[in-house]
Each structure stands twice: as C-alpha cells, then as structure tokens.
Structure 1
C-alpha cells in the first residue's frame, strides 16, 4: 500500500466530485444517507448501550456511503444493499469493522467524558439528545468551554477514522494500523484537506443562505411554517449526503490501489476521474 501526496488544489476537486456524483443519483444517495441516520437513531433507543451502538455504526455507515458514491459514479443505481456492505465481506473484515466501530465509540465517548469535566456533562447530554438546548444553556460559560474542547478533541479523532473504513474494507488493513495510516495520510496531505474543508464550509454557507432566502420568501407569501421547515430539513439532508458522497474521492487519491502495487503513481489532479467499484479495490488514474 502506497501513500499518495496530492497538491492542495485536489481538495477542491474532491468537493466538486462529491457534488457531481451526488447529482447522478440524488434521490438514491439522499435516501441511503437518511436510512443510515435513521438506523443510528433507532439504535440509540436500545436501553443503556443504545448511544454506544449508534456511534459504533458510524464507520460502517461511512463505508456504505463511499460504496454508494462509487456505484453512482460508475452509472449504477446504489441499492439499499450497500448499507450492509461492511457486514458481508467475510468474517475477518466483519470482525475488523466491528472493532473499528467499537474504537470509534470509545474515542467519542472519551471526548464527551473529558468535556463533562468542565460542565458536569451538560454539553454531552445536549449533544447525545438527552437534554434540550435552551438559550440559557447555550450562553453558559462552562457549556461553551465544553463545546469548544469537544470540537478540538474531535478533529484528531475524525482524522484517525477518516480513511480507516476504506483501508479495512478495500486493503484488508487491521483496525489499529488503519487508524495510523489514516491520520498519516491526512497529515501528509494537509493542504488538500484544508482546501477540502474550506470548500465544504463554503458550500454549506451558500446553501444556508439560499435556504434562508427561500424560507423568507415563503413566509412573506404566507406559506411559511411547515413548508419552510420541510425545505430546511430536506436541504440539510441533501448537503450532508453530498459531503459523505465526496469521502470516497479523498480515499481514492490518497492510497495506491492494492491490485496494482507496482503501478506508477497516477496523476491525482484530474477531477473527472471516476470512483472505484465497490466490489473491487479503489482504482486510481483516469479510465
């Protein structure tokens, strides 16, 4: 497995590719994203261990969206079967994905635990859905400190798990090694990921402004309320699905396909390159 170092401008290509792939199968990808979120929400209802189970499902959900994006880019319709891709690729891969999920849940709950040392667990309860966010709570200094600490600690956790599902699934890398390779790849391609993050911030900002404008126009026309709320929820769901659709392109450009270990490193600055097939290792280089 060879790590690729890509130029910073590749980050914006990842954003564009994610948006483009989403619009090839918008209804299917939005529905699949909703189904993954709904599955995690249902898991939280399990007494005592529900939130931990939901967190443990996130790496598998990320992999499912990567596979669905690959299907859409190849012109195929991503079916709900991709939601189970992490659980039907052999016992070893299944075991590794379960370990990866457990590590993610432990890491995230650890971040929440550290934030609880500041505000007594108020932020953790709000974030995990156990309490409502009121103006008084949001303005509390301890709550804000816990929130910022959680954000700072979550960034390295996110980078640890960014590529890990793909490394386990396509490269057969053990979970702990996958975490190490993931954060190294993100660090070595810091410029590209910085541009990628800024690009998505811009997309969400513009999308939020557009949603606010439409909602205001509906309110002026007397069609606000439920209509505006439905548009906001639908648009937020769609933009989140687009973001998760783009993850597969960051993975593809950071690692050499395992099927071609001796192949010369391909160019990674071609934004029109298709994503990998879900049932084969990710392919790099233009087709």
Structure 2
C-alpha cells in the first residue's frame, strides 16, 4: 500500500463520480444507507450502552457504503447483505473493525466530554438527545463556544477515520496504522479534500435552494408531501456523499505492487477489481 498525491481538482471529480455512481444504482444505495441509519437508531434506543454501540458501528456503516459504491461502479447491484461486510470477512478483519469502532466511540465521547468543561455539559446533553434544543440555549456564548470547540476537535478525528475502515478492508492494515495512514493521506492531499468539501457544500446549498422552492409550492397544496420530500431528499443526499468517499480512497492509496498506473478520478472508469 502506498500513498498517492493527486491535484486539487480531483476533489471535484470525486463528487461527480459519487453522483454518477449513485445514479447507476439509486434505490440499492439509498436503501442500504437507510437500513444502516435505521439500525443505528434502533441500537441507540437501548438504555445506557445503546448510543455508545451505535457510535462504534459507524465505521462499519461507512465501510458498507464504500463497498456498495465499489460494487455499483463495477456495474454490480449492491445488496443489503453488504451492511454486514465487516462481520463476514474473517475473524482478524472483524477484530480490527471492532477495535476501530471502539476507538472511534471513545474518541468521540472524549470530545463531547471535553466540551462540558466550557459550558457545563449543555452542548453534550443536546447532542446526545438528552436535552431539547431551544433558541435561548443556542444563543448562550458558552454553548456556542462548546459547539465550536467540538467541531475543531472533530476535524483531526474525522481525518484519521476517513480512510481507516477501507485500509483495513482492502489493504489489511492494522487499526493503529490505518488511522495514521488515513490522517497522513488526507493531509498530503489537503487541496483535493478541501475542493471535495467545498464542492459538497455547494451541492448541499444548491439542493436546499431547489427543495425550498419546490416544497414551498407543494406546501401550499399538500403539506404532507412537501415534508416527505424534504426527508427523502436529505437521506438521498447523505447516501450520495457516502458513495463518493470510496473514490477519494481509491485515488489516495494503491497497492505497492500494482502493474498498472492508478486510475484517476478524472476519468469515469471502473475501479480496480480489488476495490
């Protein structure tokens, strides 16, 4: 496994390839994403340990979407069974993914806990669903400081876990090394990831503007349809985002013994057979 450096414009190509891949299998990819989110919601409902288990399973859900996107890019239809891909790839793979999930949950909870130092735990309580968000609470300086602090601390955590599940799955890297290589890969290709993030912000804004116009018209006629359209669109957009992640991984890492040049995201081609 070796790191590849890509130009900044590649970040936009990752978004476009995610959109094209989702378009090829929209129902299968959207259904898999919704199934994953529903599973995490059900697990989160368990008392005390539910939210922690759900956090630990997030890398597994992310990996299932990456594998599903790879399948769709190969012209194959993703199946709901891919949701369990982390649990069906051998004992060592399962242990690595469970360790990775445990580290993610612990790190995330540590960040949320650190925010309590700033505002006495109000932001943490709201984020974990224990307290209802109110306008008065959101306008408190301490609450806002805790929110921004959590966001800043989450950035390096996100970079470390961005490629970690895929590095474990496709390259057999240990969890600790996967976190290190993921972080380094994101930093070395920071230009591409900035373009990737900015492009997705543009997609979100453009989609929100279109939905606001459409739902505004529908609400005047049939309010229930307008609300359902908003929810469905938000879920579909989130599924497309997770679909596009696999292309960022594919162009950032490649096996050291590959005989062919890396497939660029700038060409709408199929990923290698092992990805």
Deviations 1:24-75 (A, max 9, x none): 1111111111111111111112221111100000000000000111111111
Pairwise CA distance, 1:76:
1.3
Structure 1 residue 263 corresponds to structure 2 residue 262? no
Match of 2:62 in 1: 62
Q: Distance in 2 between matches of 1:265 and 1:148?
A: 42
Partners in 2 of 1:106 and 1:254 — Cα distance?
Answer: 27
| Structure 2 residue 248 is matched with structure 1 residue 250 | yes
Offset of 1:262 from its aligned partner? 4.7
3-state SS of paired residue (2:2): coil
Residue 130 of structure 2 aligns to a residue whose secondary structure is coil
After TM superposition, the runs of 4+ consecutive aligned structure 1 residues lying more than 2 A away are 262-271
Q: Which runs of 5+ in 1 are unaligned?
A: 283-287
> How far has the Cα of 1:270 moved from its partner?
2.8
Compute the RMSD of aligned alpha carbons.
Answer: 1.3
The one of 239, 242, 254 equivalent to 1:241 is: 239
Distance 1:276 1:16 in 2: 18
Taking the aligned partners of 1:275 and 1:128, their CA distance within structure 2 comes to 38
| 1:166 alignment partner in structure 2 | 166
Counterpart in 2 of 1:285? none
1:269 CA drift (Å): 4.8
Alignment partners' CA distance in 1, 2:105 and 2:261? 35
Q: Deviations along 1:155-212, whole A, 9 cap, x unmatched?
A: 1100000000000011110000000000000000000000000000000010111111
Task: Show the counterpart of 1:213.
Answer: 213
TM-score, normalising length from structure 2? Answer: 0.97
Q: Give me the whole-angstrom Cα distance separating, in 2, the residues matched to 1:120 and 1:54.
A: 24
Is contact 1:30-1:237 (8 Å) kept?
A: yes
Q: Distance in 2 between matches of 1:101 and 1:42?
A: 17
- Residue 109 (structure 1) aligns with: 109
In structure 1, C-alpha distance between the alignment counterparts of 2:71 and 2:262, rounded to whole Å: 22
Q: What is the distance in 2 between the residues matched to 1:46 and 1:219?
A: 36
Alignment length, in residue pairs? Answer: 275
Give the unaligned 5+ runs of structure 2.
none
**Equivalent runs, 1:75-154 vs 2, <5 Å:** 75-154=75-154
For residue 270 of structure 2, give the secondary structure of its aligned residue in structure 1: coil
Q: Aligned partners of 2:131, 2:30: CA distance in 1, in Å?
A: 28
Could you tell me how far 1:275 is from its partner in structure 2? 3.2
Distance 2:21 2:133 in 1: 35
CA pair 74-264 structure 1, distance change in 2 beyond 3 A:
closer
Structure-2 separation of matches of 1:170 and 1:178: 11
Give the CA deviation at 1:216: 1.0
Q: Secondary structure at 1:57's aligned position in 2?
A: helix
**Partner of residue 24, structure 2:** 24
Conserved 8 A contact 1:248-1:275: no
2:12 is aligned with 1:12: yes
CA contact (8 A) 1:256 1:265 kept: no
Q: How far apart, CA to CA, are the structure 1 residues paired with 2:59 and 2:209?
A: 31
